[in-house]
Amino acid sequence: MIRYLPHPVPTVSFLLCIIISGFILTTGVKYLLSVLLLLFFAFHINGKKILLTILKIVIPLCIAIGLFMTFIYPETERWVTIGGMRLSHEGLTAAGDMTSRIIFLFTGIIAFFNLITIQRLGSYLYQKNLPVWLVFILINGLKFVDRFRAKLNEIHFYQQIRGMPLENVWQKWRATVKILIPLLYVMIEESSNRAIALEMRGFTATAQRTALQPDIQTTTDKLITFVFFGFIILLLVFGFIV
């Protein structure tokens, strides 16, 4: 496991690197190699968690896209028959490209959130003298999914206590759909209450802020940022020209 916890700047540059390379890198074997490299890297950060997320969300999504495209790709000129099934050749290629990109981007984003805590990112942005309301919106936006999931689990827990059957995925799905809109409404209302609460904490203060622990970049952080940005430049140059 990687022990080094990077500064927000190299971590953000890592994310930028992932997003740009996800769209620019050539497809095919080279691309597949880069996906494997990223998966290997992600596995070393928080392997089990990342791998589970990929298996549970990304792979089923990719299979769905793959199946959809190989059967009904609109720009098909060549059809191939595999195991008695008539599949689109262009659809297969496009599905391969798209799914590998999805795996790449998802893995990168999951790895990003495993490399940095939202608090650390928030703390850094706050120290950079960004308006506090902007930091609040960014951080709460990032935390929204987590809070939503926690609230949903809490409701499911109480529903189960009251005797509602929530044993399988279908039952959970049905229960979720019914409470989705009221829950979203509650979450939005909660956000406005949170804004008032944080105003009470002094988030609207206009004084020159101080920092108890200034977030300073180490030489390693600077070096990693340099490497990532170098890689982005290489991607831009070779990705488009070569």
Partner 1 sequence: MIQVKKFSCIDEFGSPVIVDASFTVHNTDRVAILSRSQESSTILCHALAGILHRTHPLHKIEGSIFYNDRSIEEIDSHERTNSIVYVLPNSDMLISGVKDTVFGEIALSLELIGVEPNVIRARVSHILQQLDIERLADRDPDNLSGGERHKVALASMIIRRPDVLILDNPSMFLDVTGVTNLLNILRNYEGTIIIADPNPYIWSGLSNRFIVIENEHIEVFNSAKTLIGALGNQIIPLELPSWTGLYLKLRDTLELNDEIDSTHCLPALRAVSGALP
Q: Sign of torsion, CA 112 116 122 125?
A: negative
Residue 12 contacts partner 1 per CB under 8 A: no
What does the per-residue mask of binding to partner 1 show for 73-92, with x meaning CB under 8 A? Answer: --------------------
- Angle at alpha carbon of residue 142, lines to 183 and 95, rounded to 5°: 95
What does the per-residue mask of binding to partner 1 show for 103-132, with x meaning CB under 8 A? Answer: --------------xxxx-xx-xx-----x
Candidates 123, 111, 74, 113; CA nearest to 94 is 74
Complex with partner 1: residue 105 or 186, whichever CB lies closer: 186
Residue 210 contacts partner 1 per CB under 8 A: yes
Q: Are 187 and 151 in contact (CB under 8 A)?
A: yes
What does the per-residue mask of binding to partner 1 show for 179-208, with x meaning CB under 8 A? Answer: -----------x--xx-xxxxxxxxxxxxx
Q: Are 151 and 50 in contact (CB under 8 A)?
A: no
Nearest approach in angstroms of CB 197 to partner 1 is 4
Complex with partner 1: residue 45 or 105, whichever CB lies closer: 45
Token code pair at residue 91? 């659809």
Complex with partner 1: residue 143 or 156, whichever CB lies closer: 143
Three-state SS letters, 74-125: CCCCCEEEECCEEEEHHHHHHHHHHHHHHHHHHHHHHHHHHHCCHHHHHHHH
Contact stretch for partner 1 (CB under 8 A) within 14-22, 78-86, 87-95, 210-218: 210-218
Summarize as ranges the residues that interact with partner 1 (CB under 8 A).
Answer: 117-120, 122-123, 125-126, 132, 135-136, 139-140, 143, 190, 193-194, 196-213
